Amino acid sequence: MAEVKKLATRDGYGKALVELGREHSNIVVLDADLAGSTKTGMFKKEFPDRHFNCGIAEADMMCVAAGLSTAGFVPFASSFAMFASGRAYEQIRNSIGYPHLNVKIGATHGGMSVGEDGASHQCCEDFALMRSIPGMTVICPADAVEAEAAVKAAYELEGPVYLRFGRLAVPVFHEEGFTFAIGKGEIMREGTDVAIIANGLMVYEAVQAGELLEQKGIHARIINMSTVKPIDEELVLQAAKDCGRVITCEEHSIIGGLGEAVCSLLSEKLPTPVRRIGVDDRFGISGPAYEVLEHFGLCAKHIAEVAEDFCK
């Protein structure tokens, strides 16, 4: 069997910025002294006059991005998720969200898969923070191809967008040329026994879990919900109606993220039993990325175990 191609979603971010830069002269990219890690260095190499290193001053960077957007530019402000969403929250809320400016935030190194960098850099609160800002669109693509398409879709959307990317190279399962629709989910596998709704690197794990469940006679519907806000309400409600049970999977705290978005919707419109897989109310630990993910149950084996127990 051919080996599965792996790329980090941040690679898709860097590639998309370059392609957009070639097509649109109003795109500018800002980074906080992390051009190599965020992959914005790819844009800097080709368009040095449209790349601005704001230094280790994320709050200032967001304000610069806000100002540039009022002058007709479309800025992509880039840093690690922990700093982009956490350190600069006030500036994003007041200088970008409140006036509803056309700023795109590229947040890399999100979630537990930062691995050895440990709890201080493992941002599992960013969905919750960004979802709380009125008018903010929140996206977490599942692979590098989808990431590239999501960045291009974000450019076309007027208003603030938070894009979360990962550090870890993960399997690529979307075909080149994939079109991303903001606010729309994607059915990866059909089933009627349980619906598993995931985003980010958890999508591939959910698909693998679906294969494990199939061997036990459990047919899981796997849904890629890369847009965390707004979620695809129609797809979630239909899955809940057809399957009667829903599991959410995210590389984020179970508080405030995809799980809560799904639960809020279902509790109001179609009460359905739900189990949330994510990071319980705790901080992370240091270690190799895949070992950290397995430790926190962010893997196919654990998803399958939860689903099997749920279906009993």
Q: What is the DSSP string of the chain?
A: -PPPPEE-HHHHHHHHHHHHHHH-TTEEEEESS-HHHHSTHHHHHH-GGGEEE--S-HHHHHHHHHHHHHTT-EEEEEEEHIIIIIITHHHIIIIIITTT---EEEEESBSGGGGGG-TTT-B--HHHHHHTSTT-EEE--SSHHHHHHHHHHHHHSSS-EEEE--SS-EE--SPTTPPP-TT--EEEE--SSEEEEE-TTHHHHHHHHHHHHHTTT--EEEEE--EEES--HHHHHHHHHHHS-EEEEEEEESSSSHHHHHHHHHHHHS---EEEEEE-SS----S-HHHHHHHTT-SHHHHHHHHHHHH-
Instruction: Say what the pTM is.
Output: 0.96
Class of domain 6-171: alpha beta
Ranges of each domain in the chain: 6-171, 186-311
Question: CA 133 to CA 236: how far, in whole Å?
Answer: 22
pLDDT tens by residue, the chain, 312 residues: 356 899 999 999 999 999 999 999 999 999 999 999 999 999 999 999 999 999 999 999 999 999 999 999 999 999 999 999 999 999 999 999 999 999 999 999 999 999 999 999 999 999 999 999 999 999 999 999 999 999 999 999 999 999 999 999 999 999 999 999 999 999 999 999 999 999 999 999 999 999 999 999 999 999 999 999 999 999 999 999 999 999 999 999 999 999 999 999 999 999 999 999 999 999 999 999 999 999 999 999 999 999 999 998
Q: Catalytic residues, which ones?
A: 58
Question: Looking at the domain that runs over 186-311, which CATH code has it been given?
Answer: 3.40.50.920
Equal CATH topology for 6-171 and 186-311: yes
